[in-house]
């Protein structure tokens, strides 16, 4: 309907399809995602889940080549070595295959205490410019070509401290977009991601800060609100957490940006 009248038109919609992640041929997780950058998504997801412990433990990661498989383009098989192979075997033995929706990821599966044991505090970025932070959402939007067509995709971008874009990804799931960005760096063996900024197009949840912590990203910026648990995790990790980055302004919840200091308080 346009101006109260029916109009025939063609609409473009975001694709959502399952990606089954197998470890050594055994199903581990099914992720509802937008196809594209599947290898990066699988690598980032397994790294955030602490199954892939180090990029050097990634033996192979490829789409299914079994011609008898139904929709092999929606299956990625991962081969792990070293400590990651042992971690994968333990994870496979200890739980059923995970289903991660595009809406919420694997919500709250790891506690702050587990993360604190498994991940060291990140190294803070010195002197983060407020003008750089304020410009990140617009820079990320310029890289959202699929969003321009569909209006139905989230995005995540990894930036240098001067605001230049390093990598970006789009997906129906906010968590998937972050996994794709981080997974690309895992495949390049570039972790930890010191002196970088992560910008996401929606709100900041516990899982997004968890993924940033695992990757060693010291600053997370979002155009919308953080959750209370996201703030707690960021504080424990030493991550600078910024929300409501829009229209040239932003809120600092933890850390410090351009003279704005985040303070955790029950009344704030």
Measured CA to CA, the distance from residue 23 to residue 78 in angstroms comes to: 5
**Distances from the Cα of 227 to the Cα of 15, 116, 237, angstroms:** 27, 19, 15
Measured CA to CA, the distance from residue 96 to residue 154 in angstroms comes to: 28
From the list 64, 104, 199, 219, the catalytic residue is 104
Using omega within 30 degrees of 0 as the cis cutoff, is the peptide bond preceding 41 cis?
Answer: no
The answer to whether 52 and 83 have CB atoms below 8 angstroms apart is: no
| Residue 74 tokens, joined | 């929606």
Q: What H or E segment, with its residue span, contains residue 186? A: helix 174-187
| Residue 2 tokens, joined | 């346009």
Coil/strand/helix, residue 54: coil
| Residue 41 tokens, joined | 């998504």
Q: Which of 55, 158, 35, 177 is nearest to 105 (CA)?
A: 177
The alpha carbon of residue 85 and the mean position of all alpha carbons in its chain are separated, in whole angstroms, by 23
Measured CA to CA, the distance from residue 169 to residue 153 in angstroms comes to: 10
Measured CA to CA, the distance from residue 183 to residue 189 in angstroms comes to: 10
Q: Which of 136, 128, 164, 163 is nearest to 258 (CA)?
A: 128
- For residue 107, indicate whether it is catalytic: no
Catalytic residues: 104
């Amino acid at each position: 309907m346009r101006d109260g009248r029916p109009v025939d038109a063609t609409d473009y919609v975001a694709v959502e399809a399952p990606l089954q992640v197998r470890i050594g041929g055994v199903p581990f997780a099914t992720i509802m995602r937008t196809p594209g950058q599947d290898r990066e998504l699988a690598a980032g997801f397994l790294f955030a889940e602490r199954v892939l412990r180090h990029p050097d433990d990634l033996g192979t990661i490829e789409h299914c080549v079994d011609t008898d498989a139904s929709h092999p383009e929606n299956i990625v098989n991962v081969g792990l070595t070293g400590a990651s192979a042992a971690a994968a075997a333990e994870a496979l033995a200890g739980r059923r295959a995970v289903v991660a929706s595009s809406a919420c990821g694997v919500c709250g599966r790891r506690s702050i205490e587990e993360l604190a044991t498994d991940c060291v505090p990140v190294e803070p970025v010195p002197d983060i410019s407020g003008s750089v932070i304020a410009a990140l959402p617009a820079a990320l939007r310029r890289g959202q070509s699929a969003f321009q067509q569909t209006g139905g995709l989230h995005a995540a971008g990894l930036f240098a401290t001067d605001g230049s874009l390093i990598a970006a990804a789009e997906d129906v799931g906010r968590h998937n977009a972050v996994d794709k960005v981080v997974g690309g760096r895992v495949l390049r063996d570039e972790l930890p991601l010191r002196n970088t900024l992560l910008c996401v197009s929606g709100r900041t949840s516990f899982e997004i800060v968890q993924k940033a912590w695992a990757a060693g990203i010291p600053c997370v910026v979002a155009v919308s609100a953080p959750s209370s648990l996201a703030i707690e995790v960021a504080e424990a990790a030493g991550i600078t957490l910024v929300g409501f980055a829009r229209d040239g302004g932003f809120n600092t919840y933890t850390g410090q940006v351009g003279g704005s200091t985040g303070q955790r308080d029950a009344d704030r």
